[in-house]
Amino acid sequence: MKIIKLVFLAIIVLNLAGFAQSAKSSESKAVANADEINVYYFHFNTRCETCRAVEAEAKNGVKELFNSDVSFAAYNLDEKEGEAKGKEVGVSSQMLLIVKGNKKIDLTNEGFLYARTDPKKFKKIIKEKIDSLL
């Protein structure tokens, strides 16, 4: 019975050590990425023309204005990868989000207002918001 308890205790200790290492690794990633600016567009399977325009205009605007200095990624919240990324940044619904470290700027409303009707204005807003983080 002592051997079983020791084995059980060893398993617990190893799991805790792995958890601590994982947390430390995640923490160092967060610190290493604190200067990066990322633009994320979260959506679901069902999408309207405006949803597609928000993604396309944001992606093109970020690339045109900032080249590789700012990254853009779209995630489908109905898929595992999208759900995981959403949890990582605290998103559970459709959203256009600029992230730098702990700072987050929500551009969802602006995207839906201007992506189809005034893409130039939308790109100007994206530039202003990202410039404020540089």
The domain ranges of the chain are 1-32, 35-131
| pLDDT for 15 beyond 50 | no
- Predicted pLDDT at 2: 53
Per the CB < 8 A criterion, the answer to whether 41 and 72 are in contact is yes
Burial status of residue 96 (CB atoms within 10 A of its CB: 0-12, 13-18, 19 or more):
buried
Give all strands (DSSP E) within the chain, no chain letters. Answer: 37-43, 70-76, 95-100, 103-106
Whether 67 has a pLDDT exceeding 70, the answer reads yes
The CATH superfamily of 35-131 is: Glutaredoxin (3.40.30.10)
Can you read off the two tokens belonging to residue 121?
Answer: 């204005």
Q: How many CA atoms within 13 Å lie on the side-chain side of 91?
A: 29
The percentage of residues in the chain with a pLDDT greater than 70, rounded to a whole number, is: 75
